[in-house]
Each structure stands twice: as structure tokens, then as C-alpha cells.
Amino acid sequence: MYMCHRLEGIAKSSFLELQTYDPSPLSLLSVTLPANHHSPISLTPPPQPKGPKPIRFPPDSFNPLSNLSKNPIFGGEMAALHLISALVLSLFLQIQISALMVDAAIGVNWGTLSSHRLQPSIVVDLMKENKISKVKLFDADPTVLRALAGSGIQVMVGIPNDMLGILGSSPATSDLWVTQNVSRYMVKGGVNIGYIAVGNEPFLTSYQGQYQSLVLPAMLNLQQSLTKANLAGYVKLVVPCNADAYQSASLPSQGAFRPELTQIMTQLVSFLNSNGSPFVVNIYPFLSLYQSSDFPQDYAFFGGSSHPVVDGPNVYYNAFDGNFDTLVAALTKIGFGQMPIAIGEVGWPTDGAPSANLSAARAFNQGLISHVWSNKGTPLRPGVPPADVYLFSLLDEEQKSILPGNFERHWGIFSFDGQAKYPLVLGVGHGGLKNAENVQYLPSRWCVANPSQDLGGVANHMKLACSVADCTTLLYGGSCNAIGEKGNISYAFNSYYQLQKQDARSCDFDGLGMITFLDPSIGDCRFLVGISDSSCSCIGCGIFVGLWIMSFWVLMYLRILGSL
């Protein structure tokens, strides 16, 4: 079966409050529904309560129905009753649908595990230029949050899994975290924080239950902290889950949460539902293709498949829809079939594996975006796209762990320096991707293998360079895999040299390296130039250095004259 295979909660109360929140005027539309409101809607009138009969208004009183009954358009009181009932039912259904379709948008994940980090202000400008309205973070980095202030971009801040224990055991710590990482930024002209991601894939199978019991206590304390800060109506808690939290033997309709997670998922989804939060899941068709040689390649994309999955009356032509509906089926089995679903991570890498390349990444991401914006939905949720979709990711991160695969460092739709890797239209009214501006590069020079030296003893130097710098593009499936032995040595030397901010000593390698001013890039294999740490502009720095040199020589000249 072509399915990808990664939540907690609180006891259900007798009533849940569904809230539709409009952040601009502090308005709140609340509809109180029974706890089992996700069941099919019954049109049977409720039984009349016992007690005194309702007062009957005389014909000429202020009974609003008496006026309607006199109107020939409505044809009497019964017609008026039917009209009002229809309006109420229509409103109720619209509320149900709107719960699934709230501010759907294409957002991005912004990770910062890179030694070549752009200034946060440049990254924020990059998102604004590309009309990216939502961003998901993996922590609450103050420099990043300060840069987002006043941008209007909705932010999901993240809490690492290692913090779940202390947040769940200490309400005071939870209060402090909310104060320092949420409240202080949510001021006029501040940061538009809409969500807090409590952990990151905490139910991942490989964690062996390490964080499983910590999620809900942390959420309960954080919810109380938000309430104390008067932010509970503005900021929602979510738990990004990996798709291995649920599974299916063969078909999407057979989807169910892993047996050991069923109880905790029921509690968690109840908590999310009662607080108006979506279920956030990370879906990666690329990993299904990467991990299985039997996985049909065309099923991973959105162009139709010669290997569709037939599930009763439903036919699935792509892995994303199949995976999404497996989750819908799992949620239905625990009583929350109408739970809004947001995609926390989805994307396709551009390097580090045979199936990770520019053309495949463009085909997948553009197909995904077109699919979402078409509002087609899925067979189990026709006409209802995901609540939000966060592409993974905005930028490459060359310091990420490569334990899952060498491709882990190459998910960005932009390279580390904010340059678009391939054409991509993010939505209706968007043009192609626009590159970052005002990027401060180091000088145009590179470190390569010295052709006049015997490179026989280079192995240890290569090992040192690649243990620190990123050499994943040199490995099988990488874009630099076929540049030859000397090309491999030069690429490794240069990666290390740029990581060390072009320190001349870092290009020595016992005399085996040399600095060149000629770009050694070969075909699609790009030899990078690092980013400067300087915050001043190139023009400003140049003027400053020029004036300093001029002043130095003027001073020396005057001293010489004075000694004559």
C-alpha cells in the first residue's frame, strides 16, 4: 500500500464551544454545540420541555411571526417558520464548513540550522516580497521574532521537545515562557503570533514514547498561561505530528491511529477541538518514494498515476490525498471526522538523493500548490482543502542532521543565501519567486586543491573538512557526485574555507590547498561563497575602509614631514 505512516488531550466536557475569531475588531462569534456535534445533524425537532405552555401572542401583538403571516410573499405562519428553520440550518452548516476552511494559506517553515545565516530582517523582507503570509518556526529565537515585528506575517512559534517536561510540571515556568516568548511581542506594531507548536513530532515512533506522556500536561499549563495573559482568544496551541502517528493496512478508509496512541490521541484531539485548533500533520510523499523501491514514482506527484489506489467508490491518484484521507479516517474513528487539518510540513528536496533534484522539487511543490488552491479537496473531504499548508522549507540548512538521509540539508525553495532554486508560483496573484536583496557576501574567492602538489595524503584533510562543513552534494545522488577526484577535494576544501569565513589558514591543508579568484563551479555543481557577518552595507563598508586607509596614509605623511 502506498501510504505514508506521527498527538494527546483532555477529558471531554459536556459542551464544547466553537469559536470563529476575527482579530481586527475584537469580535467573537460563539456557538455552543453538544460535545458530540461531529455526529450527523438531526433535523428532528427537540422534545418540548415540561412546564407552563408558552405564551400565545394575540394577532395584533408584537409577535414577529404574526407580521410575517400577513405578508403574501411568505404565505402564512408555517411558511415563515420553514424559512426561519432553513436560515438557521444554513447558518449552522456554514459554521461547520467555516470551521474546516479558516484563512487557508500557503506558508513556509523557517529553520535556522545553518552556518551561513541570512540576517533575519533580510529573510522577513524575502517573505514579504513573495507575499508569504504565514511562517512556522521551530523555536522562539528573539532575533527572528524581533525581525517579524510589524511585518503582518502570522507566526507559529515552536517549543522543542526537550522543554515539554519542565513546561508540564511547572505552571510558573509555563507562565514565564509565555511572557518572554509570546506576550512581550504581541503589542501594537508587534508580532502576529497565531499558534504555538507544542513539541515537534513528539509521537514519532523512533522516540519510543519518550515524549508521549509530556505533551498534554504541557498544553494544559500553556493554555492556562495564555488565559492569564488574556491571549487564549488570539493564540492557539497545536502539536505538529508525523504521519506515522496513524496507519492503514492497505486503504485510506482503514486509517487508524497507532494502537498505543489511540487513547492519547482521543484526549488531544478533544483538547484541540475545544480550543478551536486544527490537527497539524507533516506529510512527505518524497520519503515514501525514497524508502521503498516498489513505490510508484508518479503516485508521489500530482499529475495523475498509472497506479491509482481504489478504495470503494474513491480513487486516489496521488500519495498526498491518500495520506490525508488516512488521517481523516483515523480522526473519524475517534469521533472527530470534521476536525480541521493543517499541513505543518510538506515539500521535496533538491539534492542528496537520486530522486531529489530541481525538476522533481518544482513538479511536486507546484503540483501541491495548484492542488490546494483548486479547492478540490480529497475524496473524503471534497471541496475542503487543508486549513493551512506550510512548505518545508524556506531555506536550505546545511547544519541539519543527515541521519535520515543526505537530502535533509536541501529542502529549501531558496538556497541558503535567499536565491530561488527554481521557478515557483505560490498562489493566485503571485508571480515567480523573487530573490533576497542586500545579501552581504564574502569576497569572490575560493579554496581549491593545489594542482602542483601530490594529493596522495589528502584523505584525512577531506575527512576533517567534511566533518564540519557540508559535503552531501558529493555523495551518491548529489549534484556534485560526478566532478572527479580533484573536484571532490576542491569542493570539500572550499566548503570548509567558507565556513571559516575565508580565513587564509583554513585553506592551507598542509600545503595541499590554494586560494583562487576564479570560480571553480562545474556545471550544476556550485562552489559557494559564504555570507558576511557584517551588518553594514557593501557601499557603507567600502567607504569606511577607504576613509580609514586614506586617514592612515595622511597621518603617516604628516609624521614623515614632521621628522624632516
DSSP helix/strand/coil, 449: strand
C-alpha grid cell for residue 349?
528536496
Contacts of 282 (CB under 8 A, 6+ apart): 6, 201, 240, 241, 242, 243, 343, 344, 345, 346, 392
**Contact residues for 129 (Cβ-Cβ < 8 A; gap 6+):** 434, 437
Residue 83, pLDDT > 60, answer no
Per-residue pLDDT for 108 more than 60? yes
Flag the least confident range among 20-29, 116-125, 225-234, 387-396: 20-29
What per-residue confidence (pLDDT) applies to 28? 29
114-173 residue pLDDT tens: 999 999 999 999 999 999 999 999 999 999 999 999 999 999 999 999 999 999 999 999
Task: State the pLDDT at residue 558.
Answer: 55
In the DSSP assignment, the letter for residue 392 is S
Label residues 474-486 b or e (16+ Cβ within 10 Å = b): bbebbbbeebeee
pLDDT number for residue 431? 87
Average pLDDT over every residue of 312-335 = 98
Bridge pairing between strands 446-449 and 389-391? unpaired
| Composition of the chain by helix, strand, coil, percent to 5 | 40, 15, 45
Which residue out of 8, 17, 201, 408 is catalytically annotated?
A: 201
Distance (Å, whole) CA 564 – CA 551: 20
Would you state the pLDDT for residue 559? 54
| pLDDT tens digits, 182-197 | 999 999 999 999 999 9
| Run of H or E including 261 | none
Average pLDDT score, the chain: 84
List Cα–Cα distances, 365 to 68, 329, 347, 392, in angstroms: 55, 25, 6, 10
**Residue 547 pLDDT exceeds 70:** no
d(CA 435, CA 275): 38
Distance CA 173, CA 179 (A): 10
Which residue type occupies 20?
T
Task: Quote the pTM value.
Answer: 0.79
Instruction: Look at 331 and 92; give whichever has higher pLDDT.
Output: 331
345 is catalytic: yes
> What CA–CA distance (Å, rounded) separates 37 from 259?
25
Q: Phi/psi class of residue 335: alpha, beta or left (left: φ > 0; alpha: ψ in -120 to 50)?
A: left
pLDDT at 62: 34
Catalytic residue among 8, 345, 398, 408: 345
Q: Looking at residue 77, what is its pLDDT?
A: 53
Residues in CB range of 114: below 8 A, 6 or more apart: 395, 396, 397, 398, 399, 416
The pLDDT-based confidence of 563 (bands split at 50, 70, 90) is: low
At residue 34, the 3 state secondary structure works out as: strand
Is residue 201 part of the annotated active site? The answer reads: yes
Angstrom distance (rounded) from CA 66 to CA 145: 59
Contact of 232 with 212, CB cutoff 8 Å? no
pLDDT reported for residue 69? 39
**Whether 513 contacts 450, CB under 8 Å:** yes
